Chains A and B, each alone.
Chain A
Amino acid sequence: MKNLLEAKFRMNYPGFNLDVELNLPAKGVTVVFGPSGSGKTTLLRCLSGLERAPSGILKLADQVWQDEGIFIPIHQRKVGLVFQESRLFPHLSIQQNLLYGYQRTQSVERNLHLDEVVEVLGLAALLKRAPDKLSGGEKQRVAIGRALLTSPKLLLMDEPLASLDMQRKAEIIPFIKRIEDEFKTPIIYVTHSVDEVLQLVDTMVILQAGKVANFGPVQEVFSDVQLREVLGEEQLGAVLETSVAGHDEEFELTRLDFMGQTLNVPKQNIDVGQNLRVHIHSKDVSLSTAPPAGVTSVLNILQAKVAKIGTLGGYSVDIELDAGRPILATITRKSLANLNLKPGQPVYAHIKAIKMVH
């Protein structure tokens, strides 16, 4: 029994078409990423059953939610939905809100109960308050708890943090991660914010103009040179999984192990052996064809091979490198010509800055 989400939707609106075909692992957090108007919300509505694509297919593990002649309506799908606005019912108390879906779930299907959800999401203090007295972040946590209490097979979140400020976002993201850890509910998370993506994501789907531009594990997708359009120049760069190898007390650095190579970062308060995700902007990566001979201040130099040279346009060009995992570098075309880089060529990547993703 494969634990997969299989989705295929085609919809035509005036001025917009959705045409997606996806096979996603039904576990962990899958982020659907794309600029506004790319069709993220429409996709989510199709997945939930709020919209019905005329000829669509949607299967989750062994359940068929939509197929030729079949369409399970939303209230019969075990799907949880969290929107950008918390949409709490104003005429019910917080506790009543939380239990609304729970009461409509058959007792044999209830895997999650009030106490544990309250605990995981930190809702105890809010239970007796009225919905209009909560802050935006608190309301969102309640909305998430409410959706979870239906013991959904799939949790869909449509830009749930978009209307919150940085501080609130930072508060809630750990809770979302806990959902994944504690309850094992697969999450599909729609956003156009790269920060949220980096912290949460395992699998990534890139949507552009109603079509899937790319999908797959985040380390691969993020380093796709095609992403420049979608991510924007500032964010373009590799996402790497590393583990903490040790700490250098004297120079206040932490050594990270990456595919057998070493990266140095400012000292982190993380135990040896723990994983750490880092983001390396492509603009912060320069290349050389000759090995460094201790003549540069750049500490982090990785060996890699040129995998792909991006489209040549303007004065710069993106290069995809293979260091066991993809890494992106953005250099000038002039340098490309000077170095005479070709796919397959071994190079050295000088990494000027590394961003820690917590």
Chain B
Amino acid sequence: MDLPLIDFQPIWLSLQLAGVTVLILLVWATPLAWWLAHTRSRFRVVVEAVVALPLVLPPTVLGFYMLILLGPHGWVGGPVQALTGSALSFSFAGLVFASCIYSLPFVVQPLHSAFESVGKVPLETAQSLGASRLDAFFSVISPLARRGYLTAVVLGFAHTLGEFGVVLMVGGNIPGKTKVISIEIYDRVEVLEYTQAHILSAGLLLFSFLVLVMVYSINRRLPVQVT
């Protein structure tokens, strides 16, 4: 394998994108999943459906709306343009934004499940012992929900790594900023550079496989939660 054949930049960019997306998602998926698990509001169904949309919509639909949303006249791109001089399309930040929506259900749903199965009992118990809701969340609920967190992180990360359709539409293929590994592979295939395409694809495949194996084996060693 000649190293000059592989461009490491798309690989590194993809890892960064997946990492940043997952971190951001954890922050705002956690309260959302918590609300979904415990609310009795009748809007819950609506919110669940909205969260699940990226699961069923073709990436082209998402990509299309992202293009409009992130552009200089879009609801998100417009203000950003006014503040910083350039819109969010064709930027790493824009991809992060798009990925956060694209991978949202993969982070919210495992957390939602986990919080539901942890239930209210540990929360009530912790509160009766003097813990505020926030304190109880960090000291009791989160540790009990750790399997959910692990699943959310892995799925969110892997899903973002594999993102293609949305990036194709709003990325602009900029090396170092939006040319992620899936686009790089696609480009290589288009110009019949199959060797490079193989190297990258096999690498991605192997990486994903190893990550999943690692996660499942860690998961096995975690004790099953009993309330």
Contact between A and B in the complex (any CB pair below 8 Å):
yes
Q: Which residues of A contact B (CB under 8 A)?
A: 48, 50, 73-76, 79-81, 83, 85, 87, 89-91, 100-101, 104-105, 132, 146-147, 150
A132 B226 Cβ-Cβ under 8 A:
yes
A146 B121 Cβ-Cβ under 8 A:
no
Shortest CB–CB separation between residue B200 and chain A, in angstroms?
Answer: 41
Across-interface contacts of A91 in B (CB, < 8 A)? 140, 143-144
Any chain A CB within 8 A of the CB of B7?
no
From B124, B125, B226, name the one whose CB has the most chain A CB atoms within 10 angstroms.
Answer: B125
Any chain A CB within 8 A of the CB of B39?
no
B226 A81 Cβ-Cβ under 8 A:
no
A104-B128 contact, Cβ under 8 Å, with A87-B121, A91-B143 = no
Any chain A CB within 8 A of the CB of B126?
yes
In the complex, the number of residue pairs spanning A and B with C-beta atoms less than 8 Å apart equals: 61
Q: Which of B129, B140, B225 contacts A150 (CB 8 A)?
A: B129
Q: 18 extra interchain contacts, Cβ-Cβ under 8 A, other than A87-B122, A89-B144, A147-B128?
A: A50-B124, A74-B128, A75-B128, A75-B135, A80-B128, A83-B125, A85-B121, A87-B121, A90-B223, A90-B225, A90-B226, A90-B227, A91-B140, A100-B131, A101-B130, A104-B131, A104-B135, A150-B130
A75 B223 Cβ-Cβ under 8 A:
no
A74-B127 contact, Cβ under 8 Å, with A89-B140, A91-B143 = yes
How many of chain B's residues touch chain A, expressed as a range? 20 to 34
Shortest CB–CB separation between residue B129 and chain A, in angstroms?
Answer: 3
Shortest CB–CB separation between residue A148 and chain B, in angstroms?
Answer: 11
Q: Which of A85, A90, A104 contacts B130 (CB 8 A)?
A: A104
A75-B132 contact, Cβ under 8 Å, with A90-B226, A91-B143, A91-B144 = yes
Question: Which chain B residues numbered 135 to 174 have a C-beta less than 8 Å away from chain A?
Answer: 135-136, 139-140, 143-144
B226 A104 Cβ-Cβ under 8 A:
no
Shortest CB–CB separation between residue B121 and chain A, in angstroms?
Answer: 6
Q: Which of B124, B129, B144, B225 contacts A146 (CB 8 A)?
A: B129
Q: Which residue of A lies closest to B124 (CB)?
A: A50
Residue interface mask B97-141, A partner, CB < 8 A = 1: 000000000000000000000000110111111111101100110
Across-interface contacts of A76 in B (CB, < 8 A)? 130
> How far apart sit A245 and B130, CA to CA, in the bound complex (Å)?
48
Dominant secondary structure at the B interface? helix
Across-interface contacts of A74 in B (CB, < 8 A)? 124, 127-128
Across-interface contacts of A79 in B (CB, < 8 A)? 128
Q: Which residues of B contact A (CB under 8 A)?
A: 121-122, 124-133, 135-136, 139-140, 143-144, 223, 225-227
Shortest CB–CB separation between residue A30 and chain B, in angstroms?
Answer: 19
Q: Which of A87, A147, A150 contacts B227 (CB 8 A)?
A: A87
A81 B140 Cβ-Cβ under 8 A:
no
> How far apart sit A87 and B121, CA to CA, in the bound complex (Å)?
8
A100 B126 Cβ-Cβ under 8 A:
yes
7 smallest beta-carbon distances between A and B, as pairs: A101-B129, A104-B130, A81-B128, A91-B143, A87-B125, A75-B127, A74-B127
A75-B125 contact, Cβ under 8 Å, with A90-B225, A132-B226 = no
Shortest CB–CB separation between residue B173 and chain A, in angstroms?
Answer: 47
> How far apart sit A130 and B97, CA to CA, in the bound complex (Å)?
44
> How far apart sit A48 and B132, CA to CA, in the bound complex (Å)?
14
A75 B130 Cβ-Cβ under 8 A:
yes
Across-interface contacts of B223 in A (CB, < 8 A)? 90
Across-interface contacts of A147 in B (CB, < 8 A)? 128-129
